[in-house]
Amino acid sequence: MSETLANLSSESRQFPPPEALAAAANVKADAYEEAAGDRLAFWATQADRLTWAKKWDQVLDWSNPPFAKWFVGGELNIAYNCVDRHVEAGRGDRVAIHWEGEPGDTRTITYAELLKLVSQAANTLTDLGVGAGDRVAIYMPMIPEAAVAMLACARVGATHSVVFGGFSVSALSTRIQDADAKLVITADGGYRRGKPSALKPTVDEAVAECPSIENVLVVRRTGQDVAWTDKDKWWHETVEQASPEHKAQAFDAEHPLFILYTSGTTGKPKGILHTTGGYLTQVSYTHNAVFDLKPDTDVYWCTADIGWVTGHSYIVYGPLSNGATQVMYEGTPDTPGRDRFWQIVDKYKVSILYTAPTLIRTMMKWGDDIPAGFDLSSLRVLGSVGEPINPEAWMWYRENIGRNRTPIVDTWWQTETGGVMISPLPGVTATKPGSAMTPLPGITADVVDDQAQSVPNGGGGFLVLRDPWPSMLRTIWGDDKRFLDTYWSRFGAGAGTGDEWIYFAGDGAKKDDDGALWLLGRVDDVMLVSGHNISTTEVESALVSHPSVAEAAVVGATDPTTGQAIVAFVIPRGNVDTEGDVGDQLTVDLRNHVAKTLGPIAKPRQIMLVPELPKTRSGKIMRRLLKDVAERRSLGDVTTLQDSAVMDLISAGMKTGKSED
Ligand code: 6R9
């Protein structure tokens, strides 16, 4: 078998940028040439968008790969760049955050008010003995204090570690212990699905197992009863009483900014470490370039949770460094009704919306008539992140939300990359539904075979990054060896082949006939069927292109004849009847539909109609658990599942269409 990853689907639709947007775009086509001409000079120009207390001596030190240093010798304060400098420039009255609580309560926070809050929180951190070199765990709902807490840590040089408010006691305590945190910042709870959801009890249990924790700072959000210990301090009795004057001190460009844990498929979570100057340079630049942000007129909304890297880079650091006005929403998309998102878009006149494919497919499932009832004419750029977006979902997003007017930017990146790496530019790129298109200016991405050879157009393989980039992870916290093994030992110098250090992203990808990049899912999930490597994404997209299908997940299950066979889990669209023979016929139709779209090799052996799919908190499908079901094993680790009841639902509601051939 010669192919590394099969290329089965093709797409001929293409959408050029709207003329007016292209003419006024922040970044135009010449940026690619500029960056290709001198990559480091290009990134130095982008770093100049920030305010430095001391200019760097060297853009990149790559003398000890894969341990990079960017903007060596430079000094800056992240919070100053995200808050103070906008106020100093006379923009203190601009709204930084339009916050919408799930129950409908709201807060409007200007940059001047944000400066006051961040300064007060920074003073409180200092009072609690937290400063440069310390770690702080943040376990919060989606309230403004979450962003304030992160910025206050950055301001005093403490490294934050945000843990999803929804993770279990053990997930929280292992992360606190791994980072050896001194302080936890949390809340009594937050609102989710129409009711208060407690956080403090989880923190209490975790802290009992974590002797490193000296204090717990608690925001009162829901007012629910909480147990109280000597370590606990109310936010309103400390931060809100503290002095609003705080002078930000500059830190080295390589000062650790945050640790964010990613679980991966096996083993203990990896604490991805990001530092200061390079990180802020790239998230600030990409937020400006990819979303074409006009800070005076745009209203930006990223629907991610703060516990995901997307919340770090594109709610807190990118948008605030650019002086954006943004919406922040506390709750779920279906509370009180399934139109909540579109209500928010119309209410705040959101012009840039950044969300995830899982949400887009959910909205598809709920039906076109829901967004159709809203104006949505304020929208001018739509973004997607987190998973490959199926062409069908992309078209639905374009037609039903963008009303065929707005460009869509499908942004590929990872916790490890810190900022967006592969994406269209909304004023430059003619986009194809389902493709992340090309690496951004200053980024070198490629698709290679197992010998690290670049595949030709039309070929598939492994996604790699060939040159260091400013917001790259610096290591795995406390585990340089794992950093080397996980990302740098598959290809190139780290694998003992050649001098080039090549970053292995863990994703499959292909280049289409024009060289545009298509992400094909994690390589660990690739299915080996009769000697062909078939990506989960292509089969899922073929299923989603059938009018009866809202969502699909496929896995390769052990099969005596083909090695692995494709088993698909399918959520039908809301209006589709799946009872009895009708459901059986649907599974037959779907199997044939995939065979017709991608070829007989990709025909699923089995299709199960299910009401839900197991997902992580950031909406990624946990195929590992579905593989357990498909191979009739007991379930593996379910601790990072968004909703643990889903697996019961799947087993109970499963309707199986078996292979007849
Ligand atoms: C930002 C984020 C990273 C993994 C990544 C890939 C998948 C993210 C994607 C995408 C296809 C996109 N992914 N964006 N796949 N197209 N636009 O999601 O970070 O949570 O670390 O996940 O997500 O598989 O490797 P993280």
Does ligand 1 lie within 6 Å of residue 466's CB atom?
A: no
Q: How confident is the prediction for the chain on average, in pLDDT?
A: 95
Does ligand 1 lie within 6 Å of residue 390's CB atom?
A: no
Tell me, in angstroms, the distance from the centre of ligand 1 to residue 507's CA: 9
Residue from 95, 641, 99, 104 nearest 340 by CA: 104
Q: Answer whether residue 646 shows pLDDT above 80.
A: no
- Residues of the chain with pLDDT > 70: what percent? 96
Does ligand 1 lie within 6 Å of residue 311's CB atom?
A: no
Residue from 197, 180, 99, 178 nearest 140 by CA: 197
Tell me, in angstroms, the distance from the centre of ligand 1 to residue 435's CA: 13
Q: What's the rounded Cα separation, in Å, for the pair 610 and 568?
A: 10
Q: Answer whether residue 655 shows pLDDT above 70.
A: no
Tell me, in angstroms, the distance from the centre of ligand 1 to residue 216's CA: 32
Q: Which atom of ligand 1 sits closest to the CA of residue 423? A: 17
How is residue 309 annotated by DSSP? H
> Which CATH number is correct for 530-656, 3.40.50.300, 3.30.300.30, 3.40.50.920, 3.40.50.1370?
3.30.300.30
- Do residues 431 and 425 touch, judged by C-beta distance below 8 A? no
Atom 2, ligand 1: which residue's CA is nearest? 414
**Is 291 exposed, middle or buried, given 0-12, 13-18 or 19+ CB atoms closer than 10 A?**
buried
CB contact set of 413 (below 8 Å; sequence gap of 6+)? 385, 419, 420, 421, 422
State the pLDDT confidence band at 617, using cuts at 50, 70 and 90.
Answer: confident
Tell me, in angstroms, the distance from the centre of ligand 1 to residue 259's CA: 18
State the pLDDT confidence band at 647, using cuts at 50, 70 and 90.
Answer: confident
Which of 412, 420, 472 has most ligand 1 atoms within 8 Å of its beta carbon, as the pocket-test mutant? 412
218-243 per-position pLDDT tens digit: 999 999 999 999 999 999 999 999 99
5-48 per-position pLDDT tens digit: 999 988 999 999 999 999 999 999 999 999 999 999 999 999 99
Q: Answer whether residue 661 shows pLDDT above 70.
A: no
Q: Which atom of ligand 1 sits closest to the CA of residue 410? A: 17
- The pTM for the full model equals 0.96
Does ligand 1 lie within 6 Å of residue 357's CB atom?
A: no
Q: 236 has which bridge partners?
A: none
Q: Answer whether residue 637 shows pLDDT above 80.
A: no
78-87 per-position pLDDT tens digit: 999 999 999 9
Rg (CA), the chain: 24
Residue from 1, 18, 13 nearest 407 by CA: 18
CATH of span 22-57+67-463: 3.40.50.12780
Q: Are strands 326-329 and 300-302 parallel, antiparallel or unpaired?
A: parallel
The domain segmentation of the chain, as residue ranges, is: 22-57+67-463, 530-656
Tell me, in angstroms, the distance from the centre of ligand 1 to residue 385's CA: 7
Write down the pLDDT at residue 187. Answer: 98
Tell me, in angstroms, the distance from the centre of ligand 1 to residue 517's CA: 14
3-state secondary structure 428-447: CCCECCCCCECECCCCCEEE
Q: Answer whether residue 2 shows pLDDT above 70.
A: no
Atom 16, ligand 1: which residue's CA is nearest? 388
Q: What's the rounded Cα separation, in Å, for the pair 558 and 570?
A: 19
Structure tokens at 351: 């012009």
Comparing 634 with 205, which gets the higher pLDDT? 205
The whole-number average pLDDT for the span 630-648 is 73
- Residues of the chain with pLDDT > 90: what percent? 89
Atom 10, ligand 1: which residue's CA is nearest? 387
